[in-house]
């Protein structure tokens, strides 16, 4: 079955040196794919490629990334603007840092939506309040009016998730969205992402070092080592019967989060 997002034999290079090799996988509607691998294995690079965020030295040097009948690396900047944020959203590792320090959360929400469509501030605010509530981000009015430095790390993280979700993307790419959070808040973010998937059918790629997060969330798992796919399959299969030592070592961390 063709995927919603279809990586076909993707190679990615920086300054002519390939760092991701021959990666093929499919993400289906509503699917959560866990992307794991040691530091430097190419996880961020792999998802940034879909967003056209490889910078001036990076490019997809082989293969295709299909989305809605289009090969993303072939698209112009203006075509990408219609896709990034609006159809494919991204949550970065440190959402607090990727928020602007000099604008309130509310202003940033209005601005990011206004980049893609006509927005009415009151309607947008109402939608944000509803989503804050769904994300269990309490005291939405205060969050809306706050600058990032006035909120906790966990609140900023969730504000970042809310901003990405308000665009109602069909795909959400989450690069270590829980890495900076304590375990209790991590669990909450994981639950929120799961409920967003259940409610909106959002497909999610989650990059994480935390195998507990993967075992709690993922439907499928892709394991990267030095830019190569070591394993790819149903989460249950990869977790229960890892095929090689590298995966076993990655999985040896005791899961801290479990499926409810
Ligand atoms: N802009 C860049 N220019 C040159 N090399 C880069 C660039 N970005 C990433 N790389 C290289 O690509 C490889 C993969 O990096 P990447 O950031 O994708 O790893 P990662 O799996 O996300 O690691 P981590 O878990 O530490 O975030 C690394 O060797 C890195 O040095
Ligand atoms: Mg990374």
Distance 60 CA to ligand 1 centre (A): 14
Residue extents of the structural domains in the chain: 5-97+170-251
Classified by CATH at the fold level, domain 5-97+170-251 comes out as: Rossmann fold (3.40.50)
pLDDT in tens, the chain (260 residues): 578 999 999 999 999 999 999 999 999 999 999 999 999 999 999 999 999 989 999 999 999 999 999 999 999 988 998 898 889 998 876 655 678 889 999 999 999 888 878 889 999 999 999 888 877 788 999 999 999 999 987 788 888 888 888 888 999 999 988 766 677 767 777 887 888 899 889 999 999 888 888 888 999 999 999 999 999 999 999 999 998 898 888 877 655 555 54
Distance 41 CA to ligand 1 centre (A): 7
Of 55, 58, 49, 53, give the one whose Cα is nearest residue 23.
49
Q: Which residue has the tokens 């798992």?
A: 221
Residues near ligand 1 (Cβ within 6 A): 14, 19, 37, 39-45, 55, 57-58
The bound ligand whose nearest atom lies closest to the alpha carbon of 42 is: 1
| pLDDT at residue 253, rounded to an integer | 60
| pLDDT at residue 260, rounded to an integer | 43
| pLDDT at residue 150, rounded to an integer | 95
**Interatomic CA distance for residues 235 and 9, integer angstroms:** 21
Distance 246 CA to ligand 1 centre (A): 19
| pLDDT at residue 120, rounded to an integer | 93
């Amino acid at each position: 079955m063709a995927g919603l997002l279809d990586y076909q034999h993707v190679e990615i290079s920086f300054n002519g040196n390939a760092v991701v090799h021959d990666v093929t996988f499919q993400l289906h509607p509503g699917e959560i794919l866990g992307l794991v691998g040691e530091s430097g294995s190419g996880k961020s690079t792999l998802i940034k490629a879909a967003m056209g965020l490889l910078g001036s030295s990076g490019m997809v040097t082989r293969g295709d990334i299909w989305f809605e009948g289009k090969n993303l690396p072939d698209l112009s900047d203006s075509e990408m603007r219609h896709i990034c944020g609006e159809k494919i959203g991204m949550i970065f590792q440190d959402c607090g840092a990727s928020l602007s320090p000099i604008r309130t959360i509310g202003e940033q929400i209005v601005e990011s939506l206004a980049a893609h469509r006509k927005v009415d501030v009151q309607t947008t605010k109402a939608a944000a309040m509803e989503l804050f509530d769904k994300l269990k981000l309490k005291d939405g009015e205060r969050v809306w009016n706050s600058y990032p430095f006035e909120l906790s790390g966990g609140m900023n993280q969730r504000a970042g998730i809310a901003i990405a979700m308000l665009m109602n993307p069909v795909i959400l790419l989450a690069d270590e969205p829980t890495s900076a959070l304590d375990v209790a808040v991590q669990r909450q973010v994981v639950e929120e992402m799961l409920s967003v998937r259940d409610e909106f059918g959002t497909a999610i790629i989650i990059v994480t070092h935390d195998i507990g997060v993967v075992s709690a969330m993922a439907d499928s798992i892709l394991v990267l080592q030095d830019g190569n796919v070591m394993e790819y399959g149903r989460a249950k299969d990869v977790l229960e019967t890892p095929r090689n030592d590298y995966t076993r070592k990655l999985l040896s961390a005791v899961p801290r989060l479990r499926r409810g």
